[in-house]
Structure 1
């Protein structure tokens, strides 16, 4: 049985959409890319990968504030 992780599928779709040239995109394409990115974020947020990204962002933010 073949199973497809929706987050992996959305990440692949977002990757290939973002590789396209910006001059060739319509407003609909831009909006669709934003929707895909938001859906991917919602799917990744409760996972261990999502928590790791959040922790990395907090560490980076703390490091930049400590440097001030």
Structure 2
């Protein structure tokens, strides 16, 4: 039985969509890419990897805030 991880599938789709040249994209194509990336973010967020990314970004933002004071 073959199972497909939806988050992995969306990550592959995003990778190939973002490889294309910017000039070749229409506005609708850009909107579709944004929707796919948002869906990928929603799928990754509750996972341990997503939580790790969240904590890393949180620490990075805290460091930048402290450095600007």
* TM-score, normalising length: structure 2: 0.93
Aligned to 2:19: 19
Distance 2:10 2:22 in 1: 20
Gaps of 5+ in 1: none
The 4+ residue runs of structure 1 with deviation greater than 3 A are none
Deviation track 1:30-59 (CA, whole Å, cap 9, x = no partner) reads: 011011001001101111111011000111
* TM-score, normalising length: structure 1: 0.94
> RMSD over aligned Cα, in angstroms?
0.7
Give the number of equivalent residue pairs.
Answer: 68
